[in-house]
Structure 1
Amino acid sequence: MCGIAGAWLPDARDSEDSLLALGRRLGAAIAHRGPDDAGAWAEPAAGLVLAHQRLAIVDLSPEGHQPMASADGRWVIAFNGEIYDHVAIRAELVALGHGFRSRSDTEVLLAAISQWGVEGALARGNGMLAFAAWDRRDRVLWLARDRLGKKPLYYGLSEGRLVFGSELAALRALPGFRADVDPDALALLLRFDYIPAPHSILRGVRKLPAGHLLKLDASALSARELPAPKPWWSALDAQRAAITRGFDGDEAAALDQLDALLRDATALRMEADVPLGSFLSGGTDSSLVTALMQAQSSQPVRTFSIGFDNAVHDESEQAAAVAAHLGTAHTPLHVDGRAALDLVPELPRLFDEPFADSSQIPTTLLCRLTRQHVTVALSGDGGDELFFGYRRYARTLKNDALLRRLPRAALAKLAGKPGERARLGGLAALRAELATGDLQGLARHRVSHWKDPEAVVIGARRLATAYDDPRAMPGVGTPGDALMALDTACYLPEDILTKVDRASMSVALEARAPLLDYRVADFAWSLPMAMKYRDGELKVLPKRLLERYLPREMVYRSKAGFGAPVGDWLRGPLRDWAEAQLSEQRLREERHFDPAPIRALWREFLGGERKWHTHLWGVLMFQAWRETLR
């Protein structure tokens, strides 16, 4: 787990020293991602430089230094991530005649690329990654991102120069780089609380989508328009194939197979030459991962949880009960609000790109606590998207059934424009949902905070996402499968995994997600819906499996969610800060937003309307982030 960066200046005649200095500058901008070592490598004849910031996890010796060259000298790589099955791949490569000087997975990845090519190496690997691989023979640069989007990679052109990196900060470190806000992406932020790939908040900068490759040569850069990235793996295709194949067995067989798969996925992610532990909220997914860790550990697993003084958001007692039953070495953090409030001004810098899921606050605090004790932490991320874990799924299916029953004439009469007041519930919300027309529209409506953000962002056009594209639906299976497919394409990589990546890497903590092993995902997609959602119960099969490790009363309980009392804070100790960010004068001068609707929402919120804080938080996070551009 590290940070990568680089630049390709094909028309420049920079010396090796100047290119290396540039690489070190780009890497220094993301040094927090890898404080253990820093490296840069340059090819002056091509005008290319790669940079790497290392967080040493496997093979802590200098032999793991990056950028790293292949044994034959053809390939040089800057790699962020982990190849969990690198031991098995190494054995296969040794049998083919390859030799190794280190135990690092980076050297295995390089040898795999030399043996099978970039796409062949990616197909064999089980892990999380983003990398830049330079082919010195063919003068081709490859950028790649893992199957489900655990690791980030940004790239863009600036005056004919390619620049890329794990975070926008690396790109912004390129001298002369322009940092103009893209209003279309800003509207996406207000809608979703995040900006989905391939878009970014900066005009002309792209995120490489999950499971994609970008192959570049000098002619692509000279054309001043980069080619579109190509998928090397498709979650949608894999889901469609798994649904069509189905699961051949009963629930008992499914339980045994899930147990075996998750045990192996967890064991692979427990390999490290540094201390490791587990995030434990007390919910199904984190409890299951922790139970499987403890079942395979000879020592008590280190576990970490966080709770707020607001009881609605406090699950620390449940986490402590699970830890006590499993016998882990548990460390709780109880936040009285002051630590959380002190963190808020730091969020724009820590998250690098505007991000407004308020669970970023407890996630970041939890990562800070955890990093004081371990360097690697396993999480339960992915369980909701794979096993039907969100309550909104059930509500969406209910309303979809209603849409199908109502005659078109009745729909036309009852439906209403999905304006912002639909966020408040009641009749306005129902009429807005009736106006969506189909399942995909319902799903988009459910995940949208601002319903019409283009009306408030000056100069914004609406950009399509997976929630708008019918091709993002699997076309087989049930409506529930379709809802999970949409979230796997967008919400999972761009919100959940982005949040964990930025929060963990801000303190150089590696987060690993066993539930997102692609084999577990493929198995989950093959299951019938009744093994995920039945009689109102979410995540049926994971809960049945958890019963093997915990008492039923710990498994079947209500879950509060992993949030923060943002509304209370904005009315209380954050009110002056928010007022300054949302001042009418500032909004008018900066010309990103129409001040009128934002000021109206702020007044209503201060007057007692409880739900507008979700709208306002997105605006606030952008306003605070914009200050980092100065």
Structure 2
Amino acid sequence: MCGFAGLITPSTGNLVERVEHMLAPLFHRGPDDQGTWTDASTGLALGHRRLAIVDLSAHGHQPMHSVSGRYVIIFNGEIYNFADLRKDIESAGSHVDWRGHSDTEVLLAAFELWGIESSLGRAVGMFAIAVWDKQNQVLTLARDRIGEKPLYYGRIHNEFYFASELKAIRAQCSQHLEIDRNVLAEYMRFGYIPAPHSIYQGLYKLQPGHMLEVTAQGVANEPRAYWQLDANVAQETRRVFEQASDDEVLNEVHDRLAAAVKLQSFSDVPVGAFLSGGVDSSLVVSLMQAQSSSRVRTFTIGFEEEAFNEAPYARDVAEHLGTDHTEMYVKALDAAALIPLLPKIYDEPFADSSQIPTTLVSKLTREHVTVALTGDGGDELFAGYPRYPITAGLWNKVSKIPMPLRRAAGSLLAMPSASDWDKVTGMLPARYQRSINGRRVNRMGQLMKARSLGEMYIRLMSHWQPEDNLVIGGSCGGFDSFPAYDNGSIAAMRRWDVNQYLPDDLLVKVDRATMYSSLESRAPLLDHRVAELAFSLPEHFLVREKVGKWALRKVLDRYVPRQLIERPKAGFSIPLGDWLRGPLRSWAEDLLNPSRLASEGYLDTDKVSRMWTEHLLGKFDRSVNIWNVLMFQAWLREIQLPQQFKAADVGKEVFN
């Protein structure tokens, strides 16, 4: 796990100094080693910061050259099946004089034997790669299939830049970067920035499963996919599972997950796991512990607010499995202390508020281990979100109602405030009050007006709606990113999440939070072979009686009693609404100052102020909308401050 940066420029002076300047703000991604390589004839500079995980010796140093000298690579991530690839290379008759046992060296040997694209197809792992082909004078950028590792690129004036994080590019050309207002509108809509966009004009994210070739003159071709989930799920495989019994499917799911966990548990440094006590993390930890002769280290975060506290559930699972468990309780003051660091950690505007507990649990975990396995991906792949069957059922009913009547009903539901609706829903029996409240009734009013399943789902996943027109001079896209749903509406919603929500929100959150503490996270459920299996399963293996992740729950039953797991899904959330009205209020009001918003000229001041007032008065819970604004405002303040990146200082301020 590492970070890298590079550039191609016609101005060949000071190449080493320039790439080192780009590497400085990436110190946290690789505190163990630094390396650079330049080619003055082409104006190419490659830089790398290393977090040593496999082959801790100098033989793992990057940039690394292939044996023939044709390829030079900088690489962030892990190739989990590198030992098998090494055997395949040797059995193919290639006589490689191995210098060490790193996956980077194996990857280079694979490039020489099979070529870059074919090698990527054979690799199992998470990665972002930049490799220079001296023979063909081509730079290839590539990103892993699901999008666990980040990779930004773009051409600014006559120079081509690429890096693991935007801050590395900003360190070289901040004066030339302009905020893209349309992208800002998309950020306000979702709370994250969907690929291939970045917050800046001219800079992009390489999409998951894609590769990009760049000439020696810094001219990039269009990115192309080397892997696509739908294309790799054969209809024949689907037909096999349609005829399979429950036990046959469960055994296949178990074996494929166990194999992924085994691969990802390999390391030359200590390994642990995040444990929330939910299905996904509990299953990963169960499989880890079943394969380990020693107690697995597990870590969790708890909250003093009981409604948000899952630590007791995690503790019960840890005790049952016999793990070596550590927990940490978070207070509002802990969040307040962390918040000023979030713009540095997340690099571009990012507003998933679970970034706070994720960053804190990463810091806690790094005090004990260097690698942590996570349960990320289970909900998207195996249909774990209640919103899937609920939205499918709602659309099935709503779509039968004539549109004029739907619009009228929607307006009726959306017009009263959430607090007014709460007075009505408060008269319902207690068992209904958790699922039926004013905020949900208001949201239902929006969804009733949707013209398609795609619009309904994307609206459900949106914070600020496109018609809110919050960003001055910017506008959101429509609803055409939703995939066709030939295999069912739930499959389409899962596919949209795997395309966008998972890589651009959840995996960004985990990557930045863990890497800021120099912790490597690994997600066995995101092994692409597990993903292909999940999308080949008929729906009845995923959702039964409107409860998702049926297959994962049944596999987990083999290790953990159901009563330790079964409870309403909470997610990794914090009491943000209360905190914004309480200990975070003064910080928020400083960033939301109307005169400041007006002078910056990005956001509609009246709309922001109205949202903030409604939240403070308890009229609506506007915490999600306001958090999007606050994280942009905090980020904007951060990039406007003078930046002095020194490798010795970066990361020291965290949690001190």
Return the alpha-carbon distance in structure 2 between the equivalents of residues 417 and 186 of structure 1. Answer: 31
CA distance in 2, matches of 1:421, 1:179: 43
Tell me if 1:546 matches 2:574: no
| Alpha-carbon distance between aligned partners in 2 of 1:89 and 1:194, rounded to the nearest angstrom | 36
- Give the 3 Å change call, closer, same or farther, for CA 199–243 of structure 1 in structure 2: farther
- Does the CA contact (< 8 Å) of 1:418 and 1:433 recur in 2? no
Helix, strand or coil for the counterpart of 1:181?
Answer: coil
Question: Could you tell me how far 1:407 is from its partner in structure 2?
Answer: 3.5
Separation of aligned partners in 1, 2:607 and 2:626 = 11
Contact map agreement 2:160 2:218 (CA 8 A) in 1: no
Q: Which residue of 2 aligns with 1:476?
A: 486
The CA deviation string for residues 92-129 of structure 1, in whole angstroms up to 9 with x for no partner, is 11222131111000001111111111110100000000
- Give 2:304's aligned residue: 309
- Contact conserved, 2:153 with 2:161, CA < 8 A, in 1? yes
- Deviation of residue 155 (structure 1)? 0.7
Gap change, CA 1:421 and 1:189, over 3 Å in 2 = farther
For each residue in 1:370-405, what CA deviation from the matched residue of structure 2 results, as whole angstroms up to 9, or x when unmatched?
A: 000000000000000011111111221121111232
| Equivalent runs, 1:265-284 vs 2, <5 Å | 265-284=260-279
* Residue of structure 2 equivalent to 1:229: 223
What does 1:17-166 correspond to in 2, within 5 Å?
18-95=14-91, 96-99=93-96, 100-166=98-164
RMSD over aligned Cα atoms:
1.9
In the other structure, the counterpart of 2:385 is: 390
Q: Which residue is 1:604 aligned to?
A: 614
Shift of 1:258: 1.0
CA 1:72 to 1:35, structure 2 compared with 1: closer, same or farther past 3 Å?
A: same
Question: Is it true that 1:431 corresponds to 2:426 in the alignment?
Answer: no
Shift of 1:307: 0.4
For residues 433 and 201 of structure 1, the distance between their equivalents in structure 2, rounded to whole angstroms, comes to 28
Taking a change above 3 Å as real, the CA distance of residues 98 and 454 of structure 1, as seen in their structure-2 partners, is: farther
Aligned to 1:195: 193
Within the candidate set 424, 447, 457, 1:443 is matched to 457
CA 1:196–1:553: 2 relative to 1, 3 Å: same
Higher mean C-alpha deviation, range 232-241 or range 18-27:
232-241
Using a 3 Å threshold, how does the CA distance of structure 1 residues 553 and 357 change in structure 2: closer, same or farther? same
The aligned counterpart of 1:521 is: 531
What CA distance in whole angstroms lies between the structure 2 residues aligned with 1:628 and 1:310? 31
CA distance in 1, matches of 2:594, 2:254: 56
Alpha carbons of structure 1 residues 240 and 621: separation in structure 2 relative to 1, 3 Å: farther
Secondary structure of 2:172's partner?
coil
Describe the SS at the equivalent of 2:358. helix
Letter matched to residue 69 of structure 2: G
Q: Which AA in structure 2 matches 1:75?
A: Y
Matches within 5 A, 1:562-601: 562-601=572-611
1:371, 1:509 within 8 Å by CA — same for their partners in 2? Answer: yes
Q: In 1, distance between residues paired with 2:616 and 2:340?
A: 21
Task: Pick closer, same or farther for the CA change 1:577–1:506 going to 2, 3 Å.
Answer: same
Shift of 1:532: 0.9
- Contact 1:244–1:477 under 8 Å retained in 2: no
Cα displacement (A) at 1:442: 1.1
Conserved in 2, the CA contact under 8 Å of 1:242 and 1:523?
A: no
Question: d(CA) in 2 for partners of 1:589 and 1:5?
Answer: 34
Contact 2:180 2:200 in 1 (8 A): yes
Superposition deviation, residue 488 in structure 1: 0.5
Counterpart in the other structure of 1:2: 2
Question: How many angstroms apart in 2 are the aligned matches of 1:451 and 1:412?
Answer: 16
Give the TM-score normalised by the residue count of structure 2: 0.91
1:245 Cα deviation (Å)?
A: 4.2
Give the superposition deviation at 1:426: 5.8
User: SS of the residue aligned with 1:462?
Assistant: coil
Match for residue 294 of structure 1? 289
Q: Look up the equivalent residue of 1:4 and give its one-letter code.
A: F
Letter of the structure 1 residue corresponding to residue 222 of structure 2: A
Given that 2:372 and 2:521 are in contact with CA atoms closer than 8 Å, whether structure 1 keeps it comes out as yes
Closer, same or farther in 2 for the Cα pair 1:549/1:76, shift >3 Å?
Answer: same
Shift of 1:408: 4.4
Asked if structure 2 preserves the Cα contact closer than 8 Å seen for 1:30 and 1:53, the reply is yes
Contact 1:419/1:451, CA 8 A, preserved across alignment: no
Matches of 1:421 and 1:48, distance apart in 2 = 60
SS in 1 for 2:390: helix
- When residues 232 and 418 of structure 1 are mapped into structure 2, their CA distance, relative to the original with a 3 A threshold, is farther
Q: Is the 8 A contact 2:143 2:149 kept in 1?
A: yes
**What residue is the counterpart of 1:238 in the other structure?**
232
* Secondary structure at the counterpart of residue 517 of structure 2: coil
Gaps of 5+ in 1: none
SS of the equivalent of 1:599 reads helix
Which of 458, 475, 478 pairs up with 1:461?
A: 475
Q: Would the aligned equivalents of 1:220 and 1:227 in 2 still touch at CA under 8 Å?
A: no
Change in Cα spacing, 1:80 to 1:422, as seen in structure 2 (3 Å) is farther
Name the structure 2 match of 1:452. Answer: 466
Retained in 1: the 8 A contact 2:128–2:150?
Answer: yes
- Quote the residue 1:537 is aligned against: 547
- TM-aligned CA distance change 1:548 to 1:456, over 3 Å: same
8 Å contact 2:301–2:327 — kept in the other structure? yes
Q: 1:220 to 1:28 in 2, by over 3 A?
A: closer
Against the structure 1 CA distance between its residues 626 and 84, is the aligned structure 2 distance closer, same or farther, given a 3 Å change threshold? Answer: same
Q: Is the 8 A contact 1:567 1:610 kept in 2?
A: no
Query: 2:427 maps to which residue?
Result: none
- Is 1:255–2:250 an aligned residue pair? yes
C-alpha distance in 2 between matches for 1:173 and 1:98? 42
Deviation readout 1:23-55 (Å, 9 max, x if unpaired): 211111211100000111001100000010000
Corresponding residue number in structure 1 for 2:426? none
Residues 169-219 of structure 1 deviation map (CA, whole Å, 9 limit, x = unaligned): 110111465232111111111111100100111111100000111111145
Task: Rate the CA distance shift 1:579–1:412 in 2: closer, same or farther, 3 A.
Answer: closer
CA distance 1:498–1:77, change in 2 (3 Å) = same
Aligned match of 1:180 in 178, 181, 197?
178
Report the equivalent of 1:12: 11
- Equivalent AA in structure 2 for residue 628 of structure 1: E
Percent of residue pairs bearing the same amino acid type: 44
State the 1:414 CA deviation.
3.6
**Preserved CA contact (<8 Å) 2:233 2:535:** yes
Aligned residues of 2:274 and 2:299 also touching (Cα < 8 A): yes
Which amino acid counterpart does residue 255 of structure 1 have in structure 2? L
Q: Distance in 1 between matches of 2:59 and 2:521?
A: 23
Q: CA separation of 1:32/1:420 partners in 2, compared to 1, >3 Å: closer, same or farther?
A: farther
Spell out, residue by residue over 1:268-289, the C-alpha distance to the aligned partner (whole angstroms, 9 max, x if none): 0010000010000000000000
TM-score, normalised on structure 1? 0.95
